[in-house]
């Protein structure tokens, strides 16, 4: 059995967590040796629905995806639950549903619905008091203390750094298990966050290609007193241009012979996904 998420966070090192969006991406992350995965709301919207991260995915659609991923892997799974999909009562139901589906941690943000990607312009945030109430609701709804509640504030890009830091303090006081101040603009801001909060709670940071992060490496995050590094869209950011190149060549030449060495084949896919194990398991149920 893998370590639980509380055990991983308690190690004191920076936990590197790739973003996933389905069973295949979960399998790839597990086989690569990572200790946890992050179900990114953005990537779920991108990959399953072909839509930008603008609050178009429903709670039931996320819960269905959590259940599919949990069936495929035992890795601790951090789940992006956006705003909790409504008010405090909605939050209670969302937490109960996602935890039952297999979430190990639930990340909730203080944006106004419909939300949008934390690195996009035009965000709005709810009041600090409303978010505190939603954090209390989330804590009341969880069945296990091993299910962590992560509180994210998007206030820095809306109201400024001081408000974001004050909200982080209030969210920590409300009982959040980790704090996430989205999209700090400078290393100096991250230093201030780490100095004020890093000794008291795990700090989370998004490493988004093309986003606003002033740092890029785990070593930098460790020095700044951060403990969880999310790479929410890296798999898709690599996949999309590779897919575009392949499709362009297929459309132009009518074949993919020049790319065969770069491509996995059907047998290798079946091996990666455990076809032999499934076939062996089915033999247990063969009777004369």
pTM score, whole prediction: 0.94
Adjacent-strand bridge partners of 203: 179
The DSSP-derived string for 96-112 is HHHHHHT-SEEEEE-BP
Mean per-residue pLDDT of the chain: 94
Adjacent-strand bridge partners of 18: 231
**pLDDT for res 116:** 62
* Residue 203: both structure tokens together: 């700090």
Q: Report percent pLDDT > 70 for the chain.
A: 97
pLDDT tens per residue across span 2-11: 799 999 999 9
Q: Average pLDDT of 234-259?
A: 95
Adjacent-strand bridge partners of 19: 38
pLDDT tens per residue across span 143-162: 999 999 999 999 998 999 99
**pLDDT for res 123:** 79
pLDDT at 88 over 60: yes
* Residue at token pair 């992560």: 150
**pLDDT for res 8:** 96
Q: Read off the DSSP letter of residue 33.
A: T
Measure the CA–CA gap between 34 and 84, rounded to whole angstroms.
Answer: 27
Q: Average pLDDT of 55-70?
A: 96
Instruction: State how far Cα 239 lies from the chain centre.
Output: 18
pLDDT tens per residue across span 120-132: 566 789 999 999 9
pLDDT tens per residue across span 45-55: 999 999 998 88
**pLDDT for res 256:** 95
Measure the CA–CA gap between 141 and 44, rounded to whole angstroms.
Answer: 24
Q: Read off the DSSP letter of residue 125.
A: B
pLDDT at 198 over 60: yes
pLDDT at 288 over 90: no
Q: Average pLDDT of 66-73?
A: 97
**pLDDT for res 118:** 52
Helix, coil or strand: residue 132: helix
**pLDDT for res 36:** 98
Higher pLDDT, 283 or 171: 171
Q: Average pLDDT of 49-78?
A: 95
pLDDT at 101 over 60: yes
**pLDDT for res 121:** 67
**pLDDT for res 253:** 95
CA dihedral sign of residues 156, 196, 178, 237? positive
Q: Average pLDDT of 163-167?
A: 98
pLDDT at 136 over 70: yes
């Amino acid at each position: 059995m893998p370590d639980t998420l509380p055990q991983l966070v308690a190690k004191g090192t920076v936990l590197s967590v790739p973003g996933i969006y389905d069973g295949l991406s979960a399998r790839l992350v597990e086989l690569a040796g990572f200790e946890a995965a992050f179900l990114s709301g953005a990537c779920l919207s991108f990959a399953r629905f072909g839509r930008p991260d603008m609050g178009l995915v429903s709670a039931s659609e996320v819960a269905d995806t959590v259940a599919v991923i949990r069936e495929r892997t035992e890795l601790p799974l951090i789940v992006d639950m956006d705003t909790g999909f409504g008010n405090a009562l909605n939050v209670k139901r969302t937490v109960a549903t996602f935890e039952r589906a297999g979430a190990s941690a639930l990340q909730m943000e203080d944006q106004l619905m419909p939300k949008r990607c934390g690195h996009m312009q035009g965000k709005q945030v709810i009041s600090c008091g409303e978010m505190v109430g939603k954090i209390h609701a989330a804590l009341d709804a969880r069945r296990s203390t091993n299910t962590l509640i992560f509180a994210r504030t998007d206030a820095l890009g809306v109201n400024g750094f001081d408000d974001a830091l004050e909200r982080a303090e209030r969210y920590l006081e409300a009982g959040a298990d980790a704090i996430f101040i989205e999209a700090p603009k400078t290393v100096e801001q991250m230093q201030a966050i780490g100095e004020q909060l890093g000794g008291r709670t795990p700090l989370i940071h998004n490493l988004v290609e093309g986003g606003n992060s002033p740092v890029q490496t785990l070593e930098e995050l460790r020095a700044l007193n951060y403990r969880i590094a999310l790479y929410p869209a890296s798999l898709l950011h690599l996949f999309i241009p590779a897919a575009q190149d392949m499709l362009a060549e297929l459309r132009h030449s009518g074949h993919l012979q020049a790319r065969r060495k770069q491509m996995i084949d059907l047998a290798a896919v079946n091996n990666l996904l455990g076809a032999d194990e499934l076939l062996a398991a089915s033999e247990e149920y063969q009777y004369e």
